[in-house]
Structure 1
Amino acid sequence: MSTRKGNLALLQLLLNSGRVDADCRDSFGTTALMVASYSGHYDCARELIMQGTDINLQRETGSTALFFASQQGHNEVVKLLFEFGGSTEFQTKDGGTALSAACQYGHSKVVDTLLKNGANVHDQLHDGATPLFLASQEGHVTVIRQLLSSGAKVNHPREDGTAPLWMAAQMGHSEVVKVLLLRGADRDADRKDGSTALFKAAFKGHNAVIEELLKFSPSLGLLKNGSTALHAAVMGDNHKSVNLLLGANADPTLPNKDNELPADLTKSNRILRALRPHILNGSS
């Protein structure tokens, strides 16, 4: 309780009484240092270290004090832990590390500290997600730039084939998409279902993302059934997305493998009105 509330005087009293061990744990394996690190209580964390606590103990989940401090963005605590032997190599049960946690939550100062102290930019969760993937998913542009400058692989996919660009496009993070493309992301990379970043952005109606992708002249975003990004925009009932794609010469007369045209997939009058002149021009 004293570490959770940051009560240094009470913590010192308990530790100096000899009745409480600095490495005492709860039923989940949580130590007082983990609690102090999670809460950002620097003085309590330092006191526990001075009293001989093991910095690198792992909770039942595999998390360490460094993981918690990194996850919560407490950079001064992170620096303190490194000063006394904190390690970046420990993983949680799902493969998470201090770096992956900091990247997921966008703590750029912590990311910088971790990288300077040996964190591996190529860390992966058990599903293959890298720190870059997690930062792209959450839209943390500054962190993405840090990782790319430190050698992160811009096209490294998760095990299901999802690349950082695809995930950023799905989530609507247009600035992330721009940065990834400028750093060499494969604009036409697809998942195991065959969908590209453009297809997913069109289905979701993320028009700023579509505009960034179109600057790099991506493919039509074909799915395995032959559906294009225009099919996706129509299915998602995204009128502006339809117009953006038509303006980029998407072909509304191109059927999928079920012989469905984009116009066959909607009952929206305004989308049909947008498609009709292009269909007529294409058939003339």
Structure 2
Amino acid sequence: MIYVSDARELSRHSSHQALREAVLSADVNLVKVVLHELQPETELIVNLAPNGASTLLYCACESGKKGLVKCLLDHGADGRCHPVTRYSPLYIAAFKGHKEVVELLLKVFPEQIQHHTVERWLPLHAAVINGHLALTEFLLKYQYPTNLMTTFKEGEWEYEFPFDLNFKDVSGQTILYLACFLGHTKLVDLLLKFKLKATRKPVVSLTYFSQ
């Protein structure tokens, strides 16, 4: 015997699978049609991640289809990280170098710039590791909300930023170290030249990436 609650759950998973197939096909028009048919449970079904699968928003961000990402966001897709890898939609978009998707996500989930993976890689790590120069510069210079700002210390200097510029991964490697190790010369140059306001009372000067 299948109870009503079980039947409803089966129906939701069936609908989600149809939506997942549409998302993976990267057909925005088909996705919109399927989403329309899911009312009034659209948001619930959009955010299902059965059996530890990646969310549909994550899949869309990985593909780099901005229209697809926007469509899912407009229908209530949340920005949850994968429960095991801790990879966020922003992380995978940065990893793949999808700048337009990154920009869209930062407007909705700016706090994801602070989320790190199990390897303790930030979205900036993802951009640097894969040599995405323009995206790295964009992430460094983006105007993040003031509520995300934190004070960090480098020796006698202090600076405010949404994340530690010298954040270390599980191997103790900084973003600058990784850029050097991987031979991304232009990225190394960008990181060394990047400056922001720092304070050493009462002197005001500039800080930089530590080596």
TM-score above 0.5, yes or no: yes
Q: Provide the secondary structure at the position in 2 that maps to 1:134.
A: helix
Match of 1:67 in 2: 20
RMSD between superposed Cα atoms in Å: 2.1
Match of 1:219 in 2: 210
Higher strand share: 2
Whole-angstrom distance in 1 between the partners of 2:80 and 2:192: 29
Asked if residue 171 in structure 1 is aligned to residue 130 in structure 2, the reply is: yes
Amino acid at match of 1:126: V
> Structure 1 pair 92/56, CA: closer, same or farther in 2 (3 Å)?
closer
* Structure 1 residue 126: Cα displacement: 2.2
Whole-angstrom distance in 1 between the partners of 2:20 and 2:209: 39
* Structure 1 residue 154: Cα displacement: 0.5
Unaligned runs of 5+ in 2: 1-10, 143-161, 195-207
- Which residue, 76, 84, 93 being the options, matches 2:37? 84
Amino acid at match of 1:167: A
CA deviation digits over 1:240-270, x for unaligned, max 9?
A: xxxxxxxxxxxxxxxxxxxxxxxxxxxxxxx
* Structure 1 residue 89: Cα displacement: 1.6
The answer to whether the Cα contact below 8 Å between 1:132 and 1:144 also exists between their aligned partners in 2 is yes
Amino acid at match of 2:175: A
Asked if residue 180 in structure 1 is aligned to residue 139 in structure 2, the reply is: yes
Match of 1:162 in 2: 121
Q: Provide the secondary structure at the position in 2 that maps to 1:154.
A: helix
Whole-angstrom distance in 2 between the partners of 1:66 and 1:212: 41
Whole-angstrom distance in 2 between the partners of 1:105 and 1:185: 26
Unaligned runs of 5+ in 1: 1-53, 221-284
Match of 1:233 in 2: none
- Which residue, 133, 145, 150 being the options, matches 2:103? 145
Q: Provide the secondary structure at the position in 2 that maps to 1:218.
A: coil
* Structure 1 residue 124: Cα displacement: 2.6
Whole-angstrom distance in 1 between the partners of 2:101 and 2:83: 18
* Structure 1 residue 101: Cα displacement: 0.2
The answer to whether the Cα contact below 8 Å between 1:132 and 1:164 also exists between their aligned partners in 2 is yes
When the two structures are superposed, what TM-score results if normalisation uses the length of structure 1? 0.54
> Structure 1 pair 125/142, CA: closer, same or farther in 2 (3 Å)?
farther
Whole-angstrom distance in 1 between the partners of 2:131 and 2:50: 29
Determine what percentage of the aligned residue pairs are the same residue. Answer: 27
When the two structures are superposed, what TM-score results if normalisation uses the length of structure 2? 0.71
> Structure 1 pair 176/94, CA: closer, same or farther in 2 (3 Å)?
farther
